[in-house]
Amino acid sequence: MTRLPRPLSALSAGAVIAVALTGCAASGGASTATSASDMPIGGVDLSSVCPATVVIQTDWNPQAEQGGLFTLLGSDARIDAGKKSVSGPLMSQGEWTGVDVEIRAGGPAIGFSGVPAQMYTDPDILLGWVNTDDAIAASDALPTTAVMSTFEKAPWAIMWDPETYPDVHSIADLGRTSATVRYFDGTTYMDYLTGSGLLRTDQLDGSYDGTPAAFVAANGTAAQQGFATVEPWVYENAMPEWGRPLDYQLVADTGYPIYAVALAARSADIEGQADCLAKLVPVVQQASVDYFADPTRANTMIAEAVEEYDNGWVYPLEEAENSTVQQRELDLAANGADGTFGSFDAERVAKVQAIVTPILTAKGVTIRDGLSAEQLATSRFLDPSIALP
């Protein structure tokens, strides 16, 4: 089966907004979770404050980066291959919370619409995965506010062949070579890398489509964007035509400190759904911590969902298991600076604003006037005692 390409973001910033305003994104429709009304409600009761089904919109097909979300599901979770969703009773450490949860796939499942666009198209969605730079880009027309960080470091990377470039150990080193760097055209962080002088504009090739063909054909002479939790393992272990290690550097380690795929609500829902978020967000926090303690069931469910969706995305269990390990070893999934899992640093959010606002403005994207770091991300609903060991 051909590996389906995954873009950095489903659409460019301008297209994210245009899709929502023209109504082109497909609506996810009503929730389909099977109620667990015959189960006793445990120590966390969401039934009086949250929707009967908590709908969470992800940015791509199921994968181990969503492990914390899949840990919310019990053993009776149901995979809907037609709607590309997994649903069932929303659990908190083995106890029912009184509501259901539906985890929806993004990317091809929603016509490659951006998550903010999908959230505003379909009001059933309570929470969605939104990158900080995408939230800034959508802040005027489709404002979202992140309520929990899923990654302390974004997994985006630039990768290269260490056999071809034995003296390259960083993106800055790569910028001093003649290597072509392939990427998805419109990638905001690439504007940052060239603007900061780490890469040269004459090195860039925006024709990357997510498939490995061009990289393999170049036999190591070209570099490429990727996900540190995905491509290095795939190219070495699941792609015989390459079959050797890659080297890479995280873009986050060059000074681009966005919060990747943070769990976000429509900004108006921060107050409108405050009672729900106050109880729900700590449940998701704890599920994320529990996932890393024992990822087996969630990873198995993720691999099964991908197989049943059958849309070209290939994701064997071994790849999920590697991603889980890499998320911790690379400090992608880690506690915030305050020691709490899922927390935000307002100064860091403001730094992202300072980096990406001029980039987006130059592209003609309208940024909300007076946009503050607190409007983009809040730690208000987190339980400060929940942390990874």
pLDDT tens figures, 366-384: 999 999 999 999 999 999 9
Per-residue pLDDT reduced to its tens digit, 297-349: 999 999 999 999 999 999 999 999 999 999 999 999 999 999 999 999 999 99
pLDDT tens by residue, 133-183: 999 999 999 999 999 999 999 999 999 999 999 999 999 999 999 999 999
**Residue 191's pLDDT is what?**
96
CATH number of 13-153+258-376: 3.40.190.10
Tell me what percent of the residues of the chain surpass a pLDDT of 70.
90
CB of 185 closer than 8 Å to CB of 206:
yes
Ranges of each domain in the chain: 13-153+258-376, 156-254
Q: Report d(CA 87, CA 286) in Å as an integer.
A: 19
Reported as a pLDDT band with limits 50, 70 and 90, residue 57 is: very high
**What's the pLDDT at 75?**
87
pLDDT at 15: 38
pLDDT at 112 over 70: yes
Provide, rounded to the nearest whole percent, the portion of the chain with pLDDT above 90. 88
DSSP track, 361-373: HHTTPPPPTT--H
Convert 78-106 to b/e letters by CB count within 10 Å (16 or more is b): ebbeebbbbbbbbbbeebbbbbbbbbbbb
Would you tell me the crossing angle of helices 296-309 and 317-329 to the nearest 10 degrees?
A: 130
Architecture of the domain spanning 156-254: 3-Layer(aba) Sandwich (3.40)
Q: How confident is the model at residue 36 (pLDDT cuts 50, 70, 90)?
A: low
- pLDDT score of 186: 87
pLDDT confidence of 24, banded at 50, 70, 90?
very low
